[in-house]
Amino acid sequence: MNVLFVCTGNTCRSPMAEGILRDLAEKNKLDINVKSAGISAFSGDMASWNSVEAMKEIGIDILKHKTTQINEDLLKEADLILTMSKSHKDFLTYNFPWAKEKVFTLMEYAYGREKDIMDPFGQSLAVYKKTRDEIYEAIQKLIVKSEELD
């Protein structure tokens, strides 16, 4: 399965989600390929320093992450597209209506409810950790849900 996480700049939330799912998939021996991109990303930038630090604290290294601008090829190769907010989902389904059936917010897919993952950009490390934990819990739920479908 190919999973794509999408946020705004691909510097905070989506790279954390990518790192978490990649780590959990590896630990659970799941056949999941994971990427991330941003709707307003400048390709080639690094993840935000607080994202790197928050992830390092749980043993996941995203230091080498490079930002990627969302594009049609990424959307086509993804089996599942998980956004960090409803506005990201709305942007994708409006601009790429053919992908509508595979686009969900992370919280919608994990818990069945629309709720945004807060954007920690420019805030304290404590806020990044809170966002990381929210993403981690949702991805754990996503993995349990996918195992139940097998």
- Whether residue 146 is predicted with pLDDT greater than 80 in this model: the reply is no
**Set 12, 13, 23, 132: catalytic member:** 13
Give 69-91 pLDDT, tens digit per residue: 999 999 999 999 999 999 999 99
- Whether residue 150 is predicted with pLDDT greater than 70 in this model: the reply is no
**Set 7, 12, 22, 23: catalytic member:** 7
Can you spell out the DSSP letters for 34-53? EEEEETT--TTPBPPHHHHH
**DSSP-assigned beta bridge partners for residue 2:** 33
Is residue 132 part of the annotated active site? The answer reads: no
Q: Which domain holds residue 122?
A: 2-149
Q: In this structure, what CATH number is given to the domain that contains residue 52?
A: 3.40.50.2300
Is residue 7 part of the annotated active site? The answer reads: yes
Q: How far apart are CA 101 and CA 82, in angstroms?
A: 11
pLDDT for position 149: 59
Q: Distance from CA of residue 69 to its chain's centroid?
A: 14
Give 21-45 pLDDT, tens digit per residue: 999 999 999 999 999 999 999 999 9
Q: What type of residue sits at position 136?
A: Y
The verdict on pTM exceeding 0.95 is yes
Q: How far apart are CA 33 and CA 96, in angstroms?
A: 22
**Set 22, 116, 119, 133: catalytic member:** 119
148: confidence class by pLDDT, cuts 50, 70, 90: low
Structural domains counted in the chain: 1
